[in-house]
Amino acid sequence: MRLIKIYLRYYPPGIALNYQKKGIEGTKMIDLFDLTPSCDLQVLTKQIASTEPLITQEVFPQVTEILEKLQKKLKEPVKTKFYLFKTLQTHILPLTNVCFDKSGKKCITGSYDRTCRIWNVESGDEEKVLKGHENVVFSVAYNYPRCDRILTGSFDKTAKIWNPVSGNCINTLWGHTAEIVGAEFNPHQCELVATCSMDNTARVFHSETGQEVHLFADHSAEVISARFNKEGTLLLTASFDETATVWDMRAKEHAIVIRGHEAELSNAVWNFQCNLIATSSLDRTAKIWDLRRLDDAQATASHKDEVLDVAFNCTGTRLATGSADCTAKVWDVTGNFELVTIMAGHTDEVSKVTFSPPGGLLLTASADKTARIWNSGTGTCTQTLSGHDGEVFSCSFNYSGDAIITASKDNTCKIWR
């Protein structure tokens, strides 16, 4: 077995070893969740080499140099200020969702005006208008990391696959009998897409043929999210029936139902390793579940009002929750699930929380017409992003963490750099 090349993954930190064995090339991924801004890189290199035969003495200097690059990316300047770069405004009705591509140079927006629009983030120009849906375009997504396809889900009960270069619709996915509220590509098999709907079902389609591959119909109320694990073998759904369900794509049936909440769920997400699940609910709690024993929650996070969103940081060590009680909270997931800090300052509900790629910052969107940036370790608000004239319901960092997008019910989204 011969090492050919080493590739980097910044968030979460990791290296991919491209090797050749008996004339056949392969890739081996090594996660570096223990890499910190202050750890000893020589010691870490030796630890990696002790369990990985491809890392020999000859490549020690190269590996250490790569680890230095990864370590620099983790040293996030938490005092950096973001400034308004562009306001994107051509939608004639309110926005629904926004999404960056992997490079951060393009973004897409969905709207009540029945369109999805592709924007050039650098210039602020609208590049394409994806027309064809007959009702609200509620969900928008790229197929990461290639980003050569766009998926839209609509209240017209269909999802569509688009070519972002030509703007042409490649396929329309039929089958749902009510509004589609979530859609995403399978990260391992991008030809597969998952959709979830107010018809109480989640479905998996083949994006090229349009054929329905799986129908998951065990929920007794609306399904509001559907997310693949990183291997693409499991699908996690959250429902207004107060449960989340893990479906096995290979067995074509649910693996297990997650019960414990006492009101509708607002979200359900995987950590990066996909061994933990976080659920948020209108019962004022968020819960952590271990995939190996889903019969009982590992931990419960409480708020004074409905929990509207939940998000892990890139390494899965911290969890953020956003609530109608106007606060966000960050929790340590590694030990006894302790509260790290409370972000208080918004004057209306916090509907969206997301960590920066390195994890040192937390971004929140609120009905008070602002988004805020917080130090995720101390809870200090480092910046308020003001300027929207309506509720800010979505926000996101790009992959490199140097740009932010905020979307508002004032029909605009803003790029901050």
For the stretch 88-143, pLDDT in tens is: 987 999 999 999 999 999 999 999 999 999 999 989 999 999 999 999 999 999 99
Angle among Cα 154, 264, 350 to the nearest 5 degrees reads 75
Q: Are residues 105 and 53 in the same domain?
A: no
Secondary structure percentages of the chain, helix, strand, coil, to 5:
5, 50, 45
Please report the pLDDT score of residue 251 as a whole number: 82
Q: Are residues 62 and 88 in the same domain?
A: no
Give the mean pLDDT of 61-85.
Answer: 89
The answer on pLDDT for 253 being more than 90 is: no
Q: Are residues 10 and 114 in the same domain?
A: no
Last residue of a domain, one of 18, 42, 75: 75
What are the strands of the beta sheet with 307-312, ordered from one edge?
307-312, 318-323, 327-332, 338-344
Q: Are residues 70 and 119 in the same domain?
A: no
Last residue of a domain, one of 57, 75, 93: 75
Q: What is the CATH number of the domain that holds 100?
A: 2.130.10.10
For the stretch 209-241, pLDDT in tens is: 999 999 999 999 999 999 999 999 999 999 999
Residue partners of 54: CB distance under 8 A and separation at least 6: 1, 3, 17, 19, 28
Q: Which range (38-47, 54-63, 100-109, 251-260) has the least confidence?
A: 251-260
Q: What domain count does the chain have?
A: 2
Q: Are residues 352 and 250 in the same domain?
A: yes
Chain centroid to CA 401: how far? 14
Q: Are residues 192 and 253 in the same domain?
A: yes
Q: Are residues 132 and 41 in the same domain?
A: no
> What is the pLDDT of the chain when averaged over all its residues?
95
Please report the pLDDT score of residue 60 as a whole number: 92
What are the strands of the beta sheet with 2-9, ordered from one edge?
2-9, 14-21, 24-31
For the stretch 181-219, pLDDT in tens is: 999 999 999 999 999 999 999 999 999 999 999 999 999
Q: Can you tell me the distance from the alpha carbon of 167 to that of 246, in angstroms, rounded to the nearest whole number?
A: 34
Please report the pLDDT score of residue 75 as a whole number: 86
Report residue 51: phi and psi, to 5°.
-115, -5
For the stretch 271-314, pLDDT in tens is: 999 999 999 999 999 999 999 999 899 999 999 999 999 999 99
Q: Which pair of tokens denotes residue 317? A: 């060590």
Q: Are residues 205 and 247 in the same domain?
A: yes
For the purposes of burial, counting CB atoms within 10 Å of the CB of 18, is it exposed (0-12), middle (13-18) or buried (19 or more)?
middle
pLDDT bucket at 78, cuts 50 / 70 / 90: low
pLDDT bucket at 255, cuts 50 / 70 / 90: confident
Q: Can you tell me the distance from the alpha carbon of 328 to that of 324, in angstroms, rounded to the nearest whole number?
A: 9
For the purposes of burial, counting CB atoms within 10 Å of the CB of 250, is it exposed (0-12), middle (13-18) or buried (19 or more)?
exposed
Q: Are residues 102 and 167 in the same domain?
A: yes
Model confidence, pTM: 0.95
- Nearest C-alpha neighbor of 222 from the set 254, 177, 255, 259: 177
The answer on pLDDT for 180 being more than 90 is: yes
Last residue of a domain, one of 40, 75, 110: 75
- Nearest C-alpha neighbor of 199 from the set 218, 178, 173, 174: 178
- Contact between residue 225 and residue 238 where contact means Cβ atoms under 8 Å apart: yes
Q: Are residues 41 and 166 in the same domain?
A: no
* Residue 246 belongs to domain spanning: 84-416
Q: Are residues 134 and 253 in the same domain?
A: yes
Q: Are residues 317 and 363 in the same domain?
A: yes
Please report the pLDDT score of residue 281 as a whole number: 98
Give the mean pLDDT of 53-58.
Answer: 93
